[in-house]
A and B are shown apart, each in its own frame.
Chain A
Amino acid sequence: MLAEIGHFALILALLTALAQALLPMLGAVRGEPSLMAFGRSAAQLQALLILTAFAMLMISFGRADFSVALVASHAALSQPLPYRLAATWGNHEGSMLLWVLILAIFGAGIARYGDNLRASLQARVLSVQAMIGVAFLAFSLFTSNPFARLSPAPFDGAELNPLLQDPGLVFHPPLLYLGYVGFSVTFSFAVAALLEGRADAAWARWMRPWVLAAWIPLTCGIALGSFWAYYELGWGGWWFWDPVENASLMPWLLGTALLHSAIVTEKRQALAGWTILLAILAFSLSLIGTFLVRSGILTSVHAFAVDPARGVFILAMIIGSTGTALALFAWRAPQLKSGALFGGISREAGLTLNNLFLMAVTAVVFLGTFYPVIMEAIAPADKISVGPPYYNLVFVPLAVPLLLLVTMGPMLTWKRDSLRALMAKLRLPLLATLGLGLVLLLALGATNASAAFGFALAFWLVLGGVLALLRRWRGANGFSLRLLRSTPAAVFGMALAHAGLGVTVAGVTAMSAFATSKIAVMRPGETLGIGRMSVTLLSVNEAQGPNYQAMQAHFRVLKGGSSRQLSSERRFYPISRYQTTEAGIGTSFTGNSYIAIGDSAAGPGGNGLVVRAYDHPLVGWIWFGGLMMAMGGAASLADRRFRIGAPVRAPAASASAPALQPRLVAAE
């Protein structure tokens, strides 16, 4: 019964979305307020209906109703309840339902909190949002119905892939989807602006919170996914350049570019066409990410529900959305009013350069991910792979200048700055950074020159964040509390995010230069030395989990004078006959000790256990930096200027150039 209610709600949602796609658009064209208002009610109704459907599916999972085919194939009775519930989205059909749910919730958000939007713009945004909804709802209903029944119902279900039975599954996919789907809102804003023929400062200001609303969860989702892979896959890698990871990184990079270009459009009304293009591309790359995972066009460790028929449907959706939007862009964008002028050295120019480099690094990821498919077309006999060595060679040289720019950007003033003024502001931080780099180079030796450079770069970024705040707080008479209090949240956000980037860079540098590992056969009582770490195997025992058997090994790890006990597990899930590794990880500020166990094997002293021990310096910084970036985004989102009504004309006060800005506006 529940499944039928869910199915019915989903069908109603499709019909609602159809109406929402057509009527508000018609209203916006004809200028009929009642039709435009309909979009708002429809968006909220649609969200309610999909929420009902999703709840029904989740309850079916919770109750272990095996007459629902999806439940029977992804939940076993012995599976703990949280993982049975999380299994709702741990499969293709359910994750598509989560996707449309988030899409509808964002739509309802525009309807609910978009009161200050121009009515015609809001109607168009909601209509475009509903068009995407129609496509995905149809995809869900016609190719991947989550509510299909199974008769006769089995007594027990098949287990969810044990690798997915982890807290990571509970949070990682929803966060990623919030990001991917969040970019549908900016996409809708972009298309609506093209339809209206207006992309002004107000439009950019309305759109910017939605960019952040997508970017923040995407940042968290990527960081969490990386952390999950680190502790679950059992050998301590944190980024694999896997096609599916890349599929999340590309919208993130473009989303970051969009975040910055939208600032220019908001503050200076410039780059409007470019901002629109980025908004279209960011969502398109999210769609292509979906296409990737579900079409089987690329092989990836994440691939699930590989089905070419679904691939064809998603490809059609991409053509329908991205193709139409880009065609619209080619047609309407040239008529958009070009914005204010800016000099070759100015905040605008800095942000444009930032966008250029972000495009280039996105191109690295894009080409690396899709080149095997492109080769299939241009040189079918020569099949290639693109792996980490390619990215290290091409991504890094393009990312470094981008990171160097990050600290310089906020020092520039809007509209026009001079090289001399910039150099004056740069002199001290540059000297400090170069000095630190030199000291590190001497301390670490020439063989570690790249590590010295990486740490100096990290320092440069953190320093940039700190300086952005200090400059803001220093008035004519030294530091002033008044200036501190009046600092907009968005400035704190920017400083935090930029510093977070530096923290991540430090972690990445330490991991790529100084991570060490050792593999050995150990017996209880034996000790293994790895660099500054010494690992003693204390004992081995068996244990029984709710739906698995485990072998546990207990270790004592001595590192830098401190001692701690770690336990590693190898789990065997009898239902799915699957093994997982649960590494023993000792976390600390300066780095992690990471121990994974393997099979029993013959060693020099007789039979023992294969032990892989790793020393991972500063690895936690990688994800903590990501968290800082997300928190920076959240601080910006909390900025009250987003909540008050958007101005009609260019904003009177700028976030970062308080002294100069009003006068420049006046001078225009």
Chain B
Amino acid sequence: MKRPGLAALLLLMLAAPASAVQPDEMLANPALEARARSISAELRCVVCQNQSIDDSDAPLARDLRIVVREQLTLGKSDTETIGYIVTRYGNFVLLKPPLEPATYALWAGPFALLGLGGAALLVWSRRRQTAEAPPLSPAEAAELDRL
């Protein structure tokens, strides 16, 4: 196979999807651009496996990045911009799932487990201690005092 020249190689690469945020998408206003980046990082690319639109090179992710920037340029707040995408694609696009009755277990589950486990432990150790714990032996008491 003939080796393609650099120009041909560049063309080949152009044909393939570009990766993540491209310079031509970026907003001139750095504050606005920074907001766009942080919003994009919280939105899931719906056609990708498991990436935010900020990291994704899918064409749809690029379209959505542009939509985010358009909304911000129109003067929309971060919440409004995210809401704009959510009304179209649903909660699925939120990498931070919303707090709603169906997700209470997701948000509170680990803390509940910690609390319940801690409570169970406390009850268990209290009961065992009062029931069976032998008093300190004199040697132990002396040791503790020394410490």
Contact = CB atoms under 8 A, between A and B. Distances in A.
B18 A599 contact: yes
A361 interface: yes
A449 interface: no
A649 B26 CA distance: 70
Contact of A519 (B23, B94, B125, B129): B23
The interface centre, meaning the residue of B3, B96, B105, B136 with most chain A CB atoms within 10 A of its CB, is: B96
Interface in A415-432: 416, 418, 421, 424
B117 A356 contact: yes
Interface string B103-125: 10111011101100110010001
A606 B145 CA distance: 79
Nearest to A355: B117
A602 B144 contact: no
A410 to B, nearest CB: 15
A540 B10 CA distance: 11
Interface in A283-316: 299-301, 303
A363 interface: yes
Contacts of B100: 382
A360 B113 contact: yes
B71 to A, nearest CB: 20
A234 B19 contact: yes
A519 B113 contact: no
A383 B10 CA distance: 40
A349 B42 CA distance: 40
Interface in B77-132: 90-98, 100, 102-103, 105-107, 109-111, 113-114, 117-118, 121, 125, 128-129, 132
Nearest to B26: A519
The interface centre, meaning the residue of A242, A393, A667 with most chain B CB atoms within 10 A of its CB, is: A667
A378 interface: yes
A664 B23 contact: no
A567 to B, nearest CB: 16
Interface in A579-599: 579, 581, 596, 598-599
Sorted nearest first, the 4 A-B pairs with minimum C-beta distance are A387-B95, A389-B96, A421-B147, A360-B114
A77 to B, nearest CB: 13
A667 B139 contact: yes
A361 B110 CA distance: 7
Contacts of A394: 107, 110
Contacts of B74: none
A579 B16 contact: yes
A663 B23 CA distance: 71
Contacts of B22: 519, 598-599, 601, 610
A603 interface: yes
Interface residues of A, number: 73
A255 interface: no
Contacts of B23: 519-521, 601, 603, 610
B139 A299 contact: no
A300 to B, nearest CB: 6
Nearest to A596: B19
Given A299-B49, A383-B90, A521-B23, A421 B144 contact: yes
Nearest to B16: A579
A151 interface: no
Given A359-B113, A383-B91, A341 B147 contact: no
A152 to B, nearest CB: 24
Interface of B: 1, 3-6, 9-10, 12-14, 16, 18-24, 26, 41-42, 44, 49-52, 55, 90-98, 100, 102-103, 105-107, 109-111, 113-114, 117-118, 121, 125, 128-129, 132-134, 136-137, 139-140, 143-144, 147
Nearest to B44: A385
A579 B15 CA distance: 11
A382 to B, nearest CB: 6
A610 to B, nearest CB: 6
A664 B140 contact: yes
Given A359-B113, A541-B6, A610-B23, A343 B106 contact: no
A379 interface: yes
Contact of A386 (B5, B97, B134): B97
Contacts of B132: 341
Given A359-B117, A667-B137, 4 more contacts: A386-B97, A551-B6, A572-B16, A601-B23
Contact of B95 (A349, A390, A599, A603): A390
Contact of B110 (A237, A363, A388, A602): A363
Contact of B105 (A359, A367, A383, A601): A367
A300 B50 contact: yes
A384 B103 contact: yes
Contact of A303 (B1, B49, B92): B49
B27 to A, nearest CB: 12
A341 B102 contact: no
Contacts of A521: 23
Contacts of A523: none
Contact of A356 (B16, B103, B118): B118
B44 A301 contact: no
Contact of A418 (B1, B113, B144): B144
Contact of B4 (A300, A357, A368, A549): A549
B9 A551 contact: yes
B19 A600 contact: no
